[in-house]
Structures are given as structure tokens and as C-alpha cells.
Structure 1
Amino acid sequence: MAHSIYISSVEGNTGKSTIALGVLETLTHTAARIAVFRPIARSTVEPDYVLNLLLESATADLPYSTCIGVTYDDVHSDPDAALGRIVERYKAVEAASDAVVIVGSDYTDVGSPTELSYNARIAANLGAPVLLALGGRAAQVQGERLGQSDPRTAAELGDLAEMALAELRSAHASLLAIVVNRADPAQLPETIAAVRAALPASGVLHAHGPEGAQAESTPVWAIPEDAVLVAPTMQSIMEATGGSLLAGDPELLTREALAVVVAAMSMNNVLPRLLEGAVVVVPADRTEVLIAVLLANASGTFPSLAGIVLNGGFELPEPIQRLLAGVRSPLPIISTELGSYDTALRITRTRGRLAADSSRKRDTALGLFEKHVDAEALLGLLNLSRSTAVTPLMFEYGLIEQARAARRHIVLPEGSDDRVLRAAATVLSRGIARLTILGEPFEVRSRAIELGLDISAAEIVSPFDDVLRFKFAEEYARLRAHKGISLDQARDTVTDVSYFGTMMVHMGLADGMVSGAAHTTAHTIRPAFEIIKTRPDVSVVSSVFLMSLADRVLVYGDCAVIPDPTATQLADIAVSSAETAAQFGIDPRVAMLSYSTGESGAGADVEKVREATVLVRERRPDLPVEGPIQYDAAADAAVAASKLPGSAVAGRATVFIFPDLNTGNNTYKAVQRSAGAVAMGPVLQGLNKPINDLSRGALVQDIVNTIAITAIQAATA
């Protein structure tokens, strides 16, 4: 039986999608199959952006068409028949999932008697308790600041809650909790108190209490307003004005416009009116203003802009076009045929939507939800027990939670890489780790601003910083004196970002380092061999991949560092891999892999594995280990029963140690591609302090995960 939650609101534009995303993420980290259902949509054919957004994170693997109930026209035509159809379609979703996040309608005149009451009827008939979303701001007033309107007072929100609860009561819907979204940040405690005060008098049937019970125990949470979430992107503005990109970096169309400045005046009057994050509307025949705005944005002495919209449809003169091409400003310049008034009007009416392709909005929304909504309390209300299976999403969430609790400091040497900056913004917004980013501070921060990323909480350090450079050079010269390294040589060496970052870790200015998005593995880890060095109890640095399968996580080692390990090195890899597994909550049961199982085979390769297994047992008699053993006997219980009956490892191994790099590297890639496993790594092990290498093809989420892994290693070393 699925555990469901129905998210509904009293009015439009309350940010239900933000709340729904937070709820969905919370549930996907607890159970394996989480579905999304949209009872009413504008169309069953045209894409619903809220459903599209949420299906990106849903894990029940249901098609879009299955997750929609009926249209608004269906409800208008026959509300009772529509309700029956909604229940029927919902039951199919419920049967295929462990839990369902149901997102109510969007306030486009559903009908009798109010839209909330119809949503409440649906919730009651689906047996789903309601998570009530209240808007912390009144209906939007058009103005200079996009997405802004007057905040509601605590008393007004209390009255709104009382009205909504009466609607729920009349429809016999159960109340799970209340979330005030876009609340005034300065009034959060007062807001919660006022809404909670409306509960005891409401008489609402509590979701898990007897009829007539007091609702005082119903949670009330408040999520503060954030300008980024309600601001439209430059892409949305381009679409709203029917414009096209005339110049600038297309990637910067994802940046949010926080304000609009109409520059239908002289240059002298425009420049003082520029606002941080604004989109500037410039008549296309005012080319001197266009050039002035571009120069102001590039100067660093004026606010950083989101973009420019040239209105009026005038073609720019050839010299101006040539000038734009030569300047190569990344700032998006959009051209539209509309006049100044219509352009500004359409921009101010453009809503900021939480979209699947907006990483900043998504990170901001999840960060706010995680900070202000008690996830454990929410799960407790739904009575959703944690799954024994561990999906990739669940494991990833566990990493983030573990890293967040550790609060370690990680250095990222590649501040010139956009992926690193995007990952840094995610890490900071979700509180995963503290960060130092290497690069020239002005350049790094300017690029982050251009990309619409908030990395203000990160420390930006130049590898040419004289104080640190000379300090690091002295220490590096001391460490490498036996190799004849002079102080002058050391001063040059430590300005290399990999050496500089490694020195930060060595000297306690950071707890770990993540690099390799733009550098080779050798470039990343060579300084670690020279400076950090191996732990006293291990002879080699090796690596593992955390292989997240559909229902469990396995550890594969070594797949990236040592080409042909000796028996002693293989034993070291096994012990280090078991310790790494334990760091990430995986109970280590070690399989020493070979092409034969037990005593069935002979040969130099088998004997190497057999000797390594003996060494592991001598060093760690407490560690379950089996070898030599074939992969099928290690992983499959049925095969294990015939080949190694009675083994504590066979058929249930969690740590797989490959005899050489050729076997390990090919196997992890085969499993990754054939079984759809998520491979996290390589995770380096055996160093005194954690340094981890990225693939040069790493995605932003890969970098985020590696930062979390490094923080956990630093905390559990």
C-alpha cells in the first residue's frame, strides 16, 4: 500500500512545485519507488512543466501519461465523473510505487465551490493527507523588482490558514502539515506561531488522530522568500518577448533576472540606475547606451547584469555590430520587435519557474527546504519505513547527509572550470562542505556571477598569493630537500594549482582536495605522493569505485592506480578497500577475485591471490575475506552454494578486489554500462589525508559526490 501526500494551496503562485520537489527528494532518499501524480492538468497531451520537473527526480519509473489524471475541461464538464477518473488513474500509480507525491491544481478556475475544496475532495477520495501550502506574499504587484509583492503579516497568514482549514474540514480531508512558502525572513517565528494558533479552533481531522482531536501537534513550517526562486531566467524573458539571442554566451541565458531597468534615457542617467542582477531594456536605436551598459558590466565597478534586451526591432549599424563582435562580451543581448513599454510589461509578467534545467533554482529550493522543514518529522507523519534496498539516489543522499554533518573544508584547485563552479554552488547552497576555490579572485567571482551562481560563501585564493606561496615553498623545499629541490624551485612549483591545493591540505588549511576535471590523474595525485604520502600501515596508494546498483552498493578495487600489484600490494588494497567501505556504511565482506575458486585452480596468478588472502587474514583476522574466488561465486548465492558452501563471503561479498588493473578497470566499466550502475570514483585510499581525482569528463553531480566523499574520508580518517 503506497503512502501518499497531497500538496495543495489556497491560491496560485504559492510555490507548490518548490515544496513538492523538497518532499519528493526527501522520500526518494528513503524508499526505492517514489511516484508523482498530477490529478488535474491543463492538458493530457501538452507537457505540464511541474510534472516534468518532478519526474526528473521520481524513482518509480512511470511514464508521463500514467501520472496525469484529467484536464480542467473535464472537471468543468462533470466534476463527479472527473473525480472518479482521477481515483481510477491514481490507483494504477499507487499500485506501482512505495509512495506518491500528489500535486494539486494550479488555480485556473476549476469550479464549485472553490478550487481548494475540489482539491480537498480529491485528497479525501484518494486517502491522502494534505500538506497545505500557504503563500507568504499576496498577489504579485507589477514593479521594478521582478517576482516581488507585499509580504503578508503573521496575522494575515493566520486568517488565511483558518479559512483553508475550514475548506478541508468541509470536504473531510485530513491535514498532515502546513508549509508557509515565500515567508518574510524577518517574521518566521511569528508566522509559524500565528498559523499554529489557527489550528486548535479549526476542528480539522488530524491525519493520524481520532476525530475531533486537537490539531496542536500538526507541524507548521515556514520557508523564507528567496529572490532567485521567483525571478525569471533570461531564457524565459527571451521567450516572453519573442526575442532572439543577438550576442553573448548562450549558457548565460540560464541566469535569473532579479530586476528590470528601462534605459530609455541618456547614458549619464542610465548608469546610476543599474541594479545587481538586472535585465536592462535598451531601445535598439540608442547604441551609445548599449555600449555604455556593456562597458559598465565589464568594468567591475558597476552592478553585474543578467542581460540586455534591445527593443524596437531596429537593426544595429555595421560598425556597432563589428564592435560587439570584437568586444566578445558574454552578457546575453536579446533583440525583440516590441516597444519599450510592451517589452518591460512582458518581462515583469514573466514568472520565475522552478525548471529541471535550472540547477541554481533547484539547489536553492532544496537548500531552503532541507533547512526549514524537518524531514524526519515529515517521514514520521507518513509512517514510511526506510527501505532495506539502497538505490543510487538513496546512497547519494546518504553521502550528502554524512558530509553535511561532518562540515569539512575542501579545496578545489580548478576555479576556471564552469563545472567546478556549478558544483561549488550546489555544495555551498546545501551545506555539504566548506570550500576554498583556487584562481584569481576577481576572475573566479566574475565568472560565477555571469553564470548566475552564488559562491559568496567560498574562499577564493590565488595560487600566486605571496604570503601562502612563500610559506608553502619553504615547507615544500624542506620536504623535498633530499631530492635537491631549492627554495627558488619550490616557489615556482607551488604556484601549480595541484601543488598549491595539496600544500593547503598538508598544512591544515583544508581537510581534503578534489581535482582532475581539467587535469590528468598524474597531475592531480603526483603532489600527494610527494607531500601527503601514504599512511604508516599501507605500502601503496590505491583506489576504489563505489558501484551503486539498483538495490545495493558494492566496492571495486583497484580499478585506476596500480597496474599489476604484488601479493603484498593486493593485501594492502583489500584492507584499505574494506576500511573505505566501512567509512561509507557498507559492511565489508571481501572477495579476492581470480579465475578459479578455492582449490580448483593453480598458476602464478592464482597463487598471487591466494598469498594475498593469507596476508589479509593475518593483518585483519576480524575481516571476512574469501579467496581466490570467481566473481559469480562471490556475487551469486546459488553459485556460491555449489562452489563454496558455508563461506561467510561467497554469494554476499560487498568488496571485490581485482587481481590487476586490466581486470578491474574493464569490469567496473562493463557493470556500469551493462547493469546501469552509477560508478562513484575513483576514490583514492592509503594517503594520510584525502585527495581525490575526477574524470575529465566529470559531470557537475559527479563533482558534488566526490566532494562529499572526500569530506567523509576526512571526517572518518
Structure 2
Amino acid sequence: MAFASSSMAALSRPLAAVSSGLGSALSRASQLLTSGSLSSSPTASHSSTRRFISDGTVGSKGRPDSLFLSDISMSGHRAPLLLGWLNYLERHLPHVGFFEPIGGRALAGSELSVDRHVELMYRVFNMKGDATRMTGISDTEAAQLIASGKQSEVLDRIYAAYMAYKAGGELDLCLVEGPGPLMGGTELDAQIAAALNAPVLMAMSGRPNATANDYYNKAMVKRQVFADHKVDVLGVVINGLPREHHAILSSQLRDKLERAGLPFAGALPEDPVLSSVRLDEVRTALGATQLYGETWLGDVEFDEVVVGSQRLEELLETLVERPMGRPLVVTSADRLDIVLGLLAAQLSVRGPSVAGVLLTQAGASRITRSYAKSAVDNIFAGLSNNTGASGGGPDGAAAANGSAQGSLYRGALLPVLSTDKHLAEALAVIGRMDASILPTSIRKVTQCKMLFDKYIDANAVVTGLQKSRPTRVTPKMFQHTMKAMCRASPQHIVLPESVDKRVLAAAADVTARGLARVTLLGDPTTVQAEAKKLGLDLSGCHIHNPNSSDRFDKYVDMLVEARKKKGMTREAAADTLHGDINFFGTMMVAAGDADGMVSGAIHTTASTIRPALQMLKNPASSLVSSIFFMCLPDRVLVYGDCAVNVSPSAADLAAIATTSADTAAAFGIEPRVAMLSYSTLGSGAGPDVQKVTEAVALVKQQRQDIKVEGPIQYDAAIDPAVAAVKVKGGSEVAGRATVFVFPDLNTGNNTYKAVQQSTGAIAMGPVMQGLLKPVNDLSRGCTVPDIVNTICVTSIQAMQFKQRTQAAVAAAAAPK
């Protein structure tokens, strides 16, 4: 702001473009969507009518359940778009929410103490529930974690908070605002959108001299960032496009973007109401209180700041010279003569117009110096009408309640604000202010809604939202769902390798988070001493010493009985249990003393799995096999068999396919099974192709409920574009497969490792299938999170076993 004066400083500020921000999101449901028209206002430039289909199948048909607004200009001007979108969506959906992945600063003096945009949406749209649940993580915490190399933890916390917010509010749609301008830029926005499986609407801010090419190039570059993270971009929207070029720029940009296959949803023009600074913004920025005048007058703009430091008559002369102006007069608290003079001028129909007066600190604290304030209180109270809201002091409050009688004045009283800041400090704060939108900014909020309805083609975005997409489980979704299931029903998991510090750390973490009940095998004194050195709390774990176990003889008897045909004696069984801690853990599972076992951090796969193959093989299952959950950046796939069966037959491949499909379904992944080969549906021939062909036929014969395709090559199974060329006649699996069955161990093992090492994917497994109860193997290079994940997988398998057992008992007890 620049200062000008005549014996005073008049502060004139160019009115900056208003902050705006849009973040959008669809949640849970089309079954609750209304079927009303989704067109914008009748005056909108593009108002072709569309409807949400109220078919109850948004989730099942894979439609996205969120809309993510990313400010690719990094300007932070998003509020008008946010308000417009939320208003539009609330007209057509009963329950719409708003979520900030990373929360910024709160408004000064905020009672909610939440991000300013969260408070704006919460109050303007009268949202219910706890506003603090509308933020994933604070900017301070996020910055510390990212600086410490823990960006994955930031995404985990955002996803968990987002899912909890959606579940708690039973939302039909959730609007998500990307934190890019706050931190991380478009790259972090893309990572968060991918984690939430949310399609993106890119928002840009208008610039005075920007051309259509400038906006287009920016959009294309940022679109590729989202494409790299497999995030769908639904279109582009602009806030604050220069009004004089709005029509031509909008037309040029629409043509360019649509030729590139990117819808243009429109542009809000620059608007004088939105770019103005209003009294309520000054009050909030300074933490000021309103002494006198109607509170609704805080929602009025001022066009300059005039500092009143001269005599009253000189100030009035200066104001008269600005007949069309509407300034905010800033003066010190000891100049109540100026307050009374401006009040008198306001009472006259010919007096100069003033938006308001701001009183700043003058010398010593006003607590001990009243500056005849009580007399001024009485004057204002005497002018208050019966319905006006007056200002400070008991008399002013009484007037506001209608107790002041006999006043002849029926107009609005001059707003007078008071701050504890000194004059120079208050002017500095005002000078740094940009126009913003507060929950109390009624005119600005109304203007945002009106401009959105007039200039934004919401249907262009809604069309993209309604397009059916295959259900895709992202790694964050997968792990969140898995851990939620574990917390709902914690299982008892035995961990034999208590000598490994990673296992101890995982055990402490799992029990602290309530994911499982854990038994560690080892000497309690030794294990606790090691945990103390590592700073781990194992108080939630049970530590069991196999060498002094009161169950030892029971396990010996069980092992002899199970292996007697192999010549097992009691002596040999006792030696086995004393010498092989994995065997002891397996016997705990077989005896029902634990629900599952996880080992392999310091043991080979063979030593981990062999006891399970001897004691827990399911007689009803023809084959024991394994799968890996491959957690790619944008989805979770199932690979099998990559660890157990070296050269499976056609019948073995069919068994692997059906079991893997059931495992995928149990973990929330819709099974679409691709039986892999070097040939796609007869494009090549040979014994290996014939084996896969026979396996596909067996699956279709045995399990008609499973979607299966093969023989098929990997590219045709995963890429819709390749599938369209190689697979004719349509397929429910080609290009959309989620379960990949490899023809042999050599192919499967090398493929999972190649994908893991080349893409950075998390390979969770091997997860054993076909056992009576779950025993799972770890990689010897595993991390603590790997162990935690494997414990969770094992727990869910244990739940499945119990459910199958209960179902079998119920079926046996049912009358024939």
C-alpha cells in the first residue's frame, strides 16, 4: 500500500485478486444421489442438462467417490471455486463433505482452531460434526515428517483421517482441496490424489498478461505429473481471469484443451467485490473488537486507508475532496474527537462517506486511560434505534437489545473498531493484507455462488465423474482396510524369531495399535532385556519359552500322531521341537493355541514353510500355493504362484487360480483372473500354451462365478489399449486383470522381483494358500512395516478360517 496525505498519511491499496480455492470430491454414493438436473444456472454459458444416475451402484461400478481440486498455479486463490463447487454439489446431493489433507493456519481469533478454508466451508454450509476431523494432518507435522524422509507416513495419516471422516459423516460426496500451494506443489497433490483414488480438477489463477498458450502449456505440464501417478484429470478451471479478455481467452483455451482431450470447465472473471478488502477482514487480521455500529456493516468494502493524525477540520476537508471514496479512517484511541466528528458527518445527508473507523493503541494501556470513552458510549447508545446492533459498553448492549428509547436517528451507525496494536503496526498489517473471504463475508460468498453458476460448466466435470471405471484398490486403501479389519477382530499370532530386533519392533507396534495379539517365542528375561535396549514396550505381548512350556508334551504327542506313518517317534518329535523353533510355533497353531504364525526374518522359506506343509496341509485342498500382493503406486495386484510350485500342471494352475481369486476377494480386491502365457487366445501354440488353455477350461468348469481369461499375455491382461488390439469380442478381464497366474515358478518368481525392483512396488508375501491355518513367510531383508503387514495378512486369513469353520458347523447342524 502507498501512503498519501495532507498532514496525514492516506493509505491507498490496489485491490488484489481474491484468494480462491477449489477442492472437490465425490464419496460413497450414487444410491443417495438425487436425480435432479446438474446443469448450472440457466445463465451459464454451457448448461446442457445432465443427471446423476440414482442406481445405487457408484461403488460397485467403480465410479470415483471423491473430487480433488489441485491449484496448479500455486497461487492459493481457491476460495471462490471451493464455495461455488460446494454450493453446486449441495443442490444435488444430500450429504456433501469437505476435506483438507494438510491443514494450514486458522483464522485469527477462530473458535474452531482449524484451517481457514475448513472453517469457511463448515460455517457457510452449516456442516455438522467435528470440524477438526475435516483435516488430515497439520502443516507443521507434515513439514517435519517430510523433512525427516517420512513422506509415506504423511500419506498414511492423510488417508486414515480421510476414511474416518467419510465413514463418520456417511457422505455422498467429499470435496478435497489439494495442499500444493501450502507445501509440496503439484507432485504432493498427485501423490495424495493417488492415495485417495480421487480424480483431479486442475485450477489455475488468472494473470494480467497471460495468453491462452500460457495457460494451455501449464495445464499440459501439470497433467503429465498426475498421469505419472495414474491419477485421472477431469478438466481445467480458472479463477480470476482478467475481465477485459475473459471471452476471447475462454474461447481460445476451450478449443486448445478440448483438442488435447482435456475438458475446460470455464473461468471465473476478476470481480471487484471479491478483490476488495472488507472491514471484517481487517477486524480478523488485527484481532480487533467492534465498539460501535451495526455488526453487519463489517461486510462492506473500503477503497483506501486514511490515517487521521491532524485536526478534525483538516481531516474533513480531505474526505470532502474524495466525494466518491469510501475510506477506512485509522487513528489513535485518544482521538475520540475524530470519532464524534465523523459520526456527526455521517448523520448528515451531505457529510463525507466513511466505511469505518479503526482506533489503535495510544501510549499507555487503555485499561488505565478511558479517553472519555464512557461519554462516547452514551452518545452512540442514544443514537441506536430499537433494532440496531450497537457497540461496546453496557449502554451500547442495552441499546442493541432495544432498551434505548427516544432516538430520532434511524440510519446505520458508523462502525468503530478497536485494536491493541499501535498505529504503525496496525498499518503494516493492513498493508500486507490480500483480499480474502471469511465466514462473515456474506456479499462475497453470495457473489462467488453467482459467478460460479454463470461462468462454470460443472457438467463438463460431472460427465467425467460419472464415467464408469473398474474398481481399483490403491495400496493405501488396501492397507487401511486390512488394518481396520484386524482392529475389529484381533487374532493371536505367534512370532518365533524374538532374537531379531525387527520382529520385536513389529510386535510392539502391532500390539500398541491393537492389530493383533502377539506371542513371542524365547526366554522372557532375554527378550525383555533386548527390548529395553531398543526402547520398545512389549507389555502388550506374551513371551513364551518353548524350553519350559507346559504344552511341550502335548505338541510331541500331536507331532507323533500326525507323522507316525513316516516313522516319527517321541524322541525324534521332542528333538524336532527343541531344535526347530518354527516347528514349535507351527504346533501352537495346529493345537489352536495361536491363530497363525509369521516367520522368515532370519530363516529360509523352506524352514518356515516345511513344518506347515507337514502339520497344516488341508486335506480338502489339492494344492498348497502362494501369492504376493503387489502394491504398485496406483493399484494392488495379486501374483501367484511365485514361491512354492515349480512346474504346476493344468489342474494345479486351475487350483492356484481359484484359490488366488478367493484370497483376493477376501482382501477387498475384485478378482479378475488372467492365466498368463506367451500366447494371447491362440496367437501362439505349444505344450505350455495348451497347459494354460486346459487350466482355463477347468476354472470355468469348477467355478463359474470367477471371471477368468487365458491364455493371455501380461500386456493384454493389464493394459486396456493393448487388450483392445489383441482381444476381440470383449472381455471382463483383458486390460483389467487384478489376479495374475503365472505358468511356472521360474516366470512368477522372476516377474514379481522384476516389478518390485523396477517400480519400487511393495511385494507383500509370499502369502500361503491351501493350509488349514495360516503360516506366512517373511523375506530375510524385510523391514518392520513388512512384518506388520504380514501379521495383518495372517490375521485376516485366520478370520477366514474361523468363518469357514463356523459355516461348516452350522451346515452340519442344519436339518437335512
Q: TM-score, normalised by structure 2?
A: 0.45
CA distance in 2, matches of 1:7, 1:683: 41
Query: 1:500 — aligned with what?
Result: 584
Q: Which residue of the other structure, out of 477, 480, 487, is the alignment partner of 1:404?
A: 487
Q: Deviations over 1:535-560 (max 9, x none)?
A: 50x22211111011121111000011
Gap runs ≥5 in structure 2: 1-21, 24-98, 114-132, 157-178, 194-283, 289-417, 420-437, 446-469, 802-816
1:616 paired with 2:699, answer: yes
Alpha-carbon separation, structure 1, partners of 2:785 and 2:706: 33
Residue pairs, 1:588-607, within 5 angstroms = 588-607=671-690
* Structure 1 residue 675 displacement after superposition: 2.3
CA drift of 1:621 comes to 1.1
Provide the rounded CA distance (Å) in 1 between the counterparts of 2:599 and 2:633: 28
SS state at 1:634 partner: helix
Of 423, 428, 446, 2:529 maps to 446
Q: How does 1:663-674 map to 2 (within 5 A)?
A: 663-674=747-758
Aligned partner (choices 75, 98, 103) of residue 6 of structure 1: 103
If asked which structure has higher relative contact order (CA below 8 Å, sep 6+), I would say 2
User: Does 1:58 find its partner at 2:150?
Assistant: no
Is contact 2:471-2:670 (8 Å) kept?
A: no
Find the counterpart in structure 2 of residue 675 from structure 1.
759
- C-alpha separation between the residues in 2 aligned to 1:423 and 1:641? 45
Q: Deviation of residue 415 (structure 1)?
A: 0.8
C-alpha separation between the residues in 1 aligned to 2:603 and 2:537? 25
**In the aligned structure 1, how far is the partner of 2:737 from the partner of 2:286?**
49
Question: What does residue 158 of structure 1 align with?
Answer: none
Question: What are the superposed Cα offsets for residues 507-562 of structure 1, whole Å, 9 maximum, x if unpaired?
Answer: 111100000101111111111111111350x2221111101112111100001111
Aligned-pair CA distance for 1:38: 5.0
Query: How far apart are 1:707 and its partner, in Å?
Result: 0.2
Q: How far has the Cα of 1:487 moved from its partner?
A: 1.1
- Select the residue among 593, 602, 621 that pairs with 1:518: 602
Going from structure 1 to structure 2, the CA distance change for 1:449 and 1:95 (only over 3 Å counts) comes to closer
Deviation at 1:49, TM superposition (A): 7.1
Deviates more, 1:670-679 or 1:580-589: 670-679
2:771 alignment partner AA: L
Change (3 A) 1:409 1:604: same
Percent identical residues: 52
Aligned to 2:616: 532
Aligned amino acid, residue 499 of structure 2: S
Partner of 1:361: none
1:90 to 170, 182, 193: 182
Asked if 1 retains the 8 angstrom alpha-carbon contact of 2:180 and 2:186, the reply is no
**CA–CA separation in structure 2 for the residues paired with 1:637 and 1:49:** 37
Structure with bigger gyration radius? 2
Q: Distance in 1 between matches of 2:546 and 2:684?
A: 55
Give the Cα–Cα distance (whole angstroms) in 2 for the partners of residues 407 and 58 of structure 1. 25
Name structure 1 gaps, 5 residues minimum.
17-29, 42-46, 61-86, 101-116, 122-169, 172-203, 212-386
Q: 1:678 to 1:95 in 2, by over 3 A?
A: closer
Q: Residue by residue, what CA displacement relative to the aligned partner does 1:316-375 show, whole Å, maximum 9, x if unpaired? A: xxxxxxxxxxxxxxxxxxxxxxxxxxxxxxxxxxxxxxxxxxxxxxxxxxxxxxxxxxxx
Q: Which position in structure 2 is the counterpart of 1:131?
A: none
Distance 1:708 1:119, change over 3 A: farther
Q: Which amino acid aligns with 1:512?
A: G
Contact 2:478 2:667 in 1 (8 A): no
Alignment match, 1:684:
768
**Aligned amino acid, residue 477 of structure 1:** V
Aligned pairs for 1:259-274 (under 5 A) are none
In structure 1, C-alpha distance between the alignment counterparts of 2:186 and 2:782, rounded to whole Å:
36
**1:676, distance to aligned residue in structure 2 (A):** 2.4
Matches within 5 A, 1:249-328: none
Quickly say closer, same or farther: Cα 1:88–1:617, change in 2 above 3 A.
Answer: closer
Residue pair 1:35, 1:58 contacting (<8 A) in 2 also: yes
- Structure 1, residues 473-517: CA drift from partner, whole Å, max 9, x if none? 011111111111111211111222111100100011110000010
Is the contact made by 2:657 and 2:741 (CA closer than 8 Å) also made in structure 1?
yes
Deviation (angstroms), 1:423: 0.5
Q: Which residue of 1 aligns with 2:720?
A: 637
Q: How does 1:19-418 map to 2 (within 5 A)?
A: 37-38=139-140, 52=148, 55=151, 57-59=153-155, 89-90=181-182, 93=185, 97=189, 390-418=473-501
Aligned AA (2:656): I
Q: How many residues align?
A: 399
In the alignment, which residue of structure 2 is the partner of 1:488? Answer: 571
Relative to the length of structure 1, the TM-score reads 0.51
Q: Give 1:571 shift.
A: 0.8
Give the conservation status (yes or no) of the 8 Å contact 2:104–2:182. no
Whole-angstrom distance in 1 between the partners of 2:180 and 2:674:
49
Counterpart-to-counterpart distance in 2, 1:487 and 1:429: 39
The amino acid of 1:531's aligned partner reads M
Alignment deviations for residues 122-144 of structure 1 (CA, whole Å, 9 cap, x no partner): xxxxxxxxxxxxxxxxxxxxxxx
* 1:468 paired to 2:551: yes
1:677: Cα distance to partner?
1.6
Partner residue of 2:652 out of 547, 550, 569 = 569
Which string of whole-angstrom CA distances, capped at 9 and with x for unpartnered residues, describes residues 20-72 of structure 1?
xxxxxxxxxx99x9897459x9xxxxx96785476453349xxxxxxxxxxxx
Output the amino acid matched with 1:590. Answer: V
Tell me if the contact between 1:36 and 1:54 (Cα under 8 Å) persists in the aligned partners: no
Cα deviation digits, residues 83-141 of structure 1 (max 9, x gap): xxxx99539848962779xxxxxxxxxxxxxxxx87999xxxxxxxxxxxxxxxxxxxx
- Greater CA drift, 489-498 or 567-576: 489-498
Cα 1:454–1:544 shift into 2, 3 Å: same
| Matches of 2:502 and 2:183, distance apart in 1 | 41
- What residue number does 2:124 align with? none
Letter in 2 for 1:97: D
**Does structure 2 conserve the Cα–Cα contact (< 8 Å) formed by 1:34 and 1:97?**
no
- Aligned to 2:731, the other structure's residue is in SS state coil
Superposed CA offset, 1:163-217 (max 9, x none): xxxxxxx99xxxxxxxxxxxxxxxxxxxxxxxxxxxxxxxx9799xxx9xxxxxx
Structure 2 CA distance, aligned partners of 1:503 and 1:119? 70
Q: CA deviation at 1:606?
A: 0.5
Work out the CA distance in 2 between the residues paired with 1:607 and 1:668: 24
SS in 2 for 1:447: helix
Cα distance in 2 for partners of 1:478, 1:472 equals 10
Give secondary structure in 1 for the equivalent of 2:629: strand
Check conservation: 1:544, 1:558, Cα contact below 8 A. yes
1:652 to 715, 722, 736: 736
Question: Structure 1 residues 710, 599: closer, same or farther in 2, change over 3 A?
Answer: same
Q: Secondary structure at the match of 2:182?
A: helix
1:626 aligns with 2:723: no
Q: Which amino acid aligns with 1:606?
A: V
* Matches of 1:56 and 1:565, distance apart in 2: 38
The residue aligned with 1:149 is none
How has the CA–CA distance of structure 1 residues 54 and 541 changed in structure 2, closer, same or farther, with 3 Å as cutoff? closer
Q: Match for residue 777 of structure 2?
A: 693
The one of 630, 651, 669 aligned to 1:586: 669
CA shift, 1:398, in A, is: 2.1
Q: Does the CA-based 8 Å contact 1:690-1:714 persist in structure 2?
A: yes
Sort the Cα spacing of 1:553 and 1:467 in 2 relative to 1 into closer, same or farther, 3 A. same
Q: Deviations over 1:451-481 (max 9, x none)?
A: 1101111111111124211110011111111
Superposed displacement of residue 565, structure 1: 0.6
- Correspondence for 2:334: none
| Partner-residue secondary structure (3-state), 1:58 | helix
The amino acid across from 1:683 in the alignment is V
Distance 1:547 1:118, change over 3 A: farther
* Matched-pair contact (CA < 8 Å) for 2:609–2:775: yes
